[in-house]
Structure 1
Amino acid sequence: MEGPPEPHHRLQERGLLHQWYPRMFVIFVSHQWLSSAHPDPHGQQLALLQKALQGIIEGSLIVQDDHIGVYWSEQGLASNVRRYVADGFVFFDWFAIPQITARQHGINEEATKSDAALAVQSIPAYVELSNMFIALVPELVHANSACVNYATWLSRGWCRAELWCRLLSNKEDTSVIVVYSATDAKFMFGIDWQNNSIAEGDFTVEADRAQVVQLAVMAVESKLQHLQAHGPLSRHRFYTAMRPKLLCKPSLLRDLKTFLHDFRYDSLLEAARDRSSMNAVMCSVFSGDTGMLRLLAENQADMNHTLEGMSDLGYFDTQTALMAATKSKQEPSVLATLIELRANVNAFSRTGLTAMFMCRSPDHVKLLHESRADVLHWTLSGVAAYASPETVQALLECRCDPGRGEFSRTGPLHFFCILSRGNHRAGQTLELLLKHRADMNARFLPEGQADWDCRKAEAKVALLGYSNCSVSTRWRASVRGITPLGYAAMIGHGQFTKIYLDQGAEHLPNDRGDLPEDLARKHHHHHLLPALATFST
């Protein structure tokens, strides 16, 4: 199939649609429409999907963990999964659901509406029956001239509903593959969906909101019932604690009896002495329950307890209760209570990060600063990537200098670029950092083991060829000496590329001699080439 994808009734007429049957391998594709009347009027998304699936089948497109771990991970899909994809079936809404906007002449409109309504209500079932979930989020232009990408996809209420149905499914594998381009696909970062509730999503038809929010309630309740019956206990506790926040409801403050019942403890003493990862302290933190934190502290519970085994939910090993409070966007009162009860504001996780790095609001920053948390300059990378411009402004007011070096003797802009793809306000934050003298021409200079890994990747690319290496190898081979503009071009970040060019960023090569234009071309981000085109003089 080439060009604009055909609608449901046309494919049905041609006998190209298949009814689900047991053992059918289904690939559910979630995407954002590129016009109000047709999801993909020029066939751009379809063409990219075809290339990405072909890359998965051939093994040339390696799906890796998102987040900063993409640099060091070579793990991809298992070979048997690639075989399943080759024989699989695609669920694409335009193919599978009768569309009122593309109804066939002579067919009763009310019947079409009825079929469409039933199909929409069946989305949770479609997702549940799917074996693979792909978020198709290339950077493209909507018919109204707006840019669409991963951040805008995350903002859409219906897209969030599909995503939540997948992640809250009771299947063993609930992973989500985010396809940014034909050569760049990652497993979704675990915390992205938690920060994007269905209730706060964008809906073209406002009347859809209440109906879709009900899907979220059903998904959360189904997840809790399954975990209560089958475990694991840590996940049951997490979702029980986070239920109000996920559904945009007020925090549930429990009395002792209710707390012990809900989180499966026999006594207060057992709860206070629990040293498991998702213990009573963490249950209280994720619940936003300051009263229970005080009661646990009175019974010698550790307010510096650390998490283990929760990375699939976005909370990594050795991160503390205070870090969990910031990452989960708890009220400042929760942070204040932990600090009052002697939580260490300057504790480091094993990756060298602090609670300040994970702040999600201006009040978080102010509270930690007033509590004498160290304001290390590299914390800007985390706050800029995941929080709001207002939160970054609060950090700048604490004399955090965006012109100072961080992990690898450079400013915050390099890591910010890759970590912020799901943040729809990242462009505003970038402009704020540049206004405060962040160096947009700074070169990335890795040190120690990171530098050695980059040099090994350069040698591998030289031996095998750039196109024959995985994305992580290509990226590692390209980052020594790269500028923020080069980074934006390499990952296909059009908004950042435009901002850097508008601000007069220099077209500087990395240590391999690749200009930003070269990096965009090698990673198939052809939409950036006109803006990046340079001419030697």
Structure 2
Amino acid sequence: MGASLCKPDEQPIGCAASTVHACHFPLWAVKVSDFMQMRGAPEPHNVLQEKGVLHQYYPGMFVIFVSHQWLSSVHPDPQGAQMRVLQKALAGVIDGTVQITENIVAHSYDEISLASDTQKRIADAFLFFDWFAIPQITARTPGVNEETTKTDAALAVQSIPAYVELCDLFLALVPELTHKDSAQRVNYTTWMSRGWCRAELWCRLLSNKSDTSVIVAYSATEAEFMFPLDWQNRSIVDGDFTVEADRTEVVRLGEMAVESKIRHLQDRGPLSHYRFWAALCPNLLRQQRKWSEMDAFLRHFKFASLREAVQDDTGMNAVMCAVFSGDTNMLRSLAGSRANMNHTLEGMSELGYYDTQTALMAATKSRQDVDVLRVLLECRADVNGCARTGLTAIFLCRTPEHVKILLEHRADMPDYVLAGAASFACPETVKALISHRCDASKAEVLHSVALMSRSNGRALETAKLLLAHRADVNEKHTPMGELIWYYRKARFRAAVVGLSNCSMSTRFWAARSGISPLGVAALVGHEQLVQLFLEYGAEPFANDSGHLPEDLARCSHHHHLLPMLSTFAT
């Protein structure tokens, strides 16, 4: 949602000051305890104001910002479906039955979860939900509720970035539902595509708070922290806007957020994070780099001299700065001064880049232009250099051009490479690998595409391509290596407390042994993949714990899948 924003010279009013964005209208919020008692479609601001359940923001108020996609053109949630999911999810977090853990891709053996003191505060917290908080808000329509009307609604919409900064928690409410007008599915992928949703997200992630985490609620029982790479490749500039005129002003907000983040890190550190964001900035904002010569590059990234830049062995050194900024000229210059083109990352895990990943891996993973890969390889980057996980750059390739240049330099291509592209890349990249004899019938590629389908808007296309090239729709996942003990640990916990009472992460690991592609699609709630796999002859067999795909869908509250799955279950 959104509306045209205020002019830069307008004076902020009515709200506590935020660190970056101006607040032009008070932040109004509802107590979580009052929200839990609501029934039916959510009522608008004026009705709640009359009932006396809205509370104006004050310093120290613990507020949860709820970002969501509207389900109709005139009402955000006409059937109250989103609201019911949020109520159940909050109830689960409060009583401990819903645990918020790190994303499966970012999984570590020491499971990260919501801090206990934060969990305790949620019951007494306040909720910011646009329909509650903003007076007379409507869906965006060209020529309607424009900035020139100077209504309270316009002022409140202009203040949304400030509201995000003032809030203590940010929750993306993204259950799989249907838009009333278009009949299109609305979910995490479509939420991520919306320009205004991206703006809210950026204001959170790029704020100067110590905790900028984002909680993603997929269903009443599934919530996890957002994986950093889910948003870094989705610029505000490219977002979808109902009203095209909003794009310019929302992009301006993004620029303010990015520049403020960089200034804050420049002043307070850590230096590695400053360098990362300074390097990523041109790509995030689709802008030209602010340097063209070596001296300017060194100053920008805080290197005292070329010699220091070449000898720096910290994780985010000069080579990594050049890679993340896509600067081939600087890469050549650094290589000419004998900088190590096989340098590895360290200390950047919270940003989605893990220790021991090489410069070439960083280039593929961050979707750099193929020229960046070409220069690295020409300057003796090891095409088969691997991280501690054993993965190489070709596993992380994101474009057909990445595939081509890596294979031209004799990259090894084991079967598991296709699983990486199926998870994170586009169908064209998968096709490029298949055309070079990567076998789609191996490496559990359908499991991979189903597992990452929530954040991959083209997962269905990829699955169809793989099936057309003999991917096994009934392949069972076989645990291997050091993960076996983790599967056993998760299965034991699930046996004790029940699969539906486990955290989203534990539920996944407990269900994984012996699971089929259909089981994975049911577990993550992807209706189109479930239908596709069934059409291709998927058998609804149980995993090694005895759970059918129908059971996995039910325990994750994906009730919309049950008619399809129960029809085939025996």
What TM-score do the two structures reach when normalised by structure 1?
0.95
Structure 2 gap ranges (5+) = 1-37
Q: Counterparts of 1:182 and 1:85 in 2: how far apart (Å)?
A: 16
Alignment of 1:151-300 (within 5 A): 151-300=189-338
Aligned partner of 2:545 in structure 1 is 512
* Secondary structure of residue in 2 paired with 1:416: helix
Tell me by how many angstroms 1:68 deviates: 2.9
Letter in 2 for 1:502: E
**Are 1:525 and 2:562 matched, yes or no?**
no
Report if aligned partners of 1:73, 1:472 keep a CA contact under 8 Å in 2: no
8 Å CA contact retained: 2:98, 2:503: yes
Q: How does 1:35-434 map to 2 (within 5 A)?
A: 35-70=72-107, 72=109, 74-101=111-138, 114-143=151-180, 144-405=182-443, 411-434=444-467
Please say if residues 188 and 218 of structure 2, whose CA atoms lie closer than 8 Å, have aligned partners that are also in contact: yes
8 Å contact 1:252–1:287 — kept in the other structure? Answer: no
Shift of 1:529: 0.5
Specify the SS of the correspondent of 1:534.
helix
3-state secondary structure, aligned to 2:105: helix
Indicate how the Cα distance of structure 1 residues 514 and 138 shifts in structure 2: closer, same or farther if over 3 A, else same. same
Following superposition, the deviation at residue 102 of structure 1 comes to 8.9
Matching residue's letter, 2:350: D
Deviations 1:147-167 (A, max 9, x none): 111111100100000000000
Gaps of 5+ in 1: 406-410
**What is the CA–CA distance in structure 2 between the aligned matches of 1:403 and 1:109, rounded to whole Å?**
54
For 1:164 and 1:377, locate their aligned partners in 2 and report how far apart those are by CA, in whole Å.
37
Q: Relative to 1, partners in 2 of residues 1:242 and 1:38: Cα closer, same or farther, differing over 3 Å?
A: same
Residue equivalent to 2:523: 490
Cα 1:316–1:427, aligned 2, differ >3 Å: closer, same or farther? Answer: same
> Helix, strand or coil for the counterpart of 1:65?
coil
Cα contact 2:100–2:503 (8 A) shared by 1:
no
Give the residue type in structure 2 aligned to 1:309. Answer: G
Bigger shift: residues 247-256 or 433-442: 247-256
- CA shift at 1:67, angstroms? 3.1
- Output the amino acid matched with 2:437: R
Residue deviations 1:285-342 (CA, integer Å, cap 9, x gap): 1111111111111222110001111111111111111111111111111100000010
Distance 2:493 2:252 in 1: 51
**CA distance 1:370–1:253, shift in 2 (3 Å):** farther
C-alpha spacing 1:494/1:113, structure 2 compared with 1 (3 Å): farther
Taking a change above 3 Å as real, the CA distance of residues 534 and 167 of structure 1, as seen in their structure-2 partners, is: same
Q: Which residue of 2 aligns with 1:31?
A: 68
Moved over 6 A (4+): 108-112
Counterpart contact for 1:157–1:202, Cα < 8 Å: yes
Compared with structure 1, are the counterparts of its residues 536 and 100 closer, same or farther at alpha carbon in structure 2 (3 Å cutoff)? Answer: closer
Structure 1 pair 115–536 and aligned structure 2 pair: CA distance change class (3 A): closer
Match of 2:237, SS state, is helix
Aligned residues: 528
Q: Is the 8 A contact 2:323 2:359 kept in 1?
A: yes
Contact 1:64–1:73 (CA under 8 A) maintained in structure 2:
no
Query: What secondary structure does 1:438 align onto?
Result: coil
Aligned to 1:15: 52
| Structure 1: distance between partners of 2:155 and 2:569 | 59
For 2:283 and 2:331, the matched residues in 1 are separated by: 18
Q: Flag the 1:358–1:293 CA change in 2: closer, same or farther, 3 A.
A: same
Secondary structure of residue in 2 paired with 1:133:
strand
Task: Give, in whole Å, the separation in 2 of the partners of 1:325 and 1:505.
Answer: 37
Q: Is the 8 A contact 1:418 1:491 kept in 2?
A: yes
Which 10-residue stretch deviates more, 424-433 or 497-506? Answer: 497-506
Note the C-alpha offset of 1:460: 3.1
Q: What's the offset of the Cα at 1:3?
A: 1.0
Moved more, 342-351 or 157-166: 342-351
2:492 equivalent among 441, 449, 459: 459
Which residue pairs with 2:507 in the alignment?
A: 474
**What's the offset of the Cα at 1:109?**
11
- Pairwise CA distance, 1:504: 2.6
Q: Which digits, 9 at most, give the CA deviation of each residue in 1:349-397, with x for residues without a partner?
A: 1122111111111111111011111112111122122111111111111
1:265 CA displacement: 1.2
* Cα distance change, pair 32–102 in 1 and its aligned pair in 2 (3 A): closer
SS in 1 for 2:172: strand
Over the residues paired in the alignment, what is the CA RMSD in angstroms? 1.9
Partner of 1:117, secondary structure, is helix
Q: Which residue is equivalent to 2:3? A: none
Aligned residue for 2:229, secondary structure, equals coil
| Distance in 2 between residues matched to 1:21 and 1:110, nearest whole Å | 26
In 1: Cα distance, 2:266 partner to 2:88 partner: 41
The CA deviation at 1:507 is 1.4
Counterpart CA distance in 2 for 1:299 and 1:5 is 63
Specify the code of the residue in structure 1 equivalent to 2:531: K
Structure 1 counterpart of 2:248, one-letter code: A
Deviations 1:73-108 (A, max 9, x none): 5332122111111110001111111234399xxxx9
Q: Secondary structure at the match of 2:171?
A: strand
Rounded to whole Å, the distance in 2 between the matches of 1:72 and 1:495 is 32
Whether the 8 Å contact between 1:26 and 1:132 is mirrored in structure 2 is yes
The aligned counterpart of 2:476 is 443
| Secondary structure class of the residue paired with 2:534 | helix
Give the % identical residues: 61
Task: Tell me the TM-score normalized by structure 2.
Answer: 0.89
SS in 2 for 1:472: helix
Q: How much does 1:253 deviate?
A: 5.0
Change in CA separation of 1:292 and 1:74 when aligned onto 2, cut-off 3 Å = closer
Taking the aligned partners of 2:108 and 2:330, their CA distance within structure 1 comes to 40
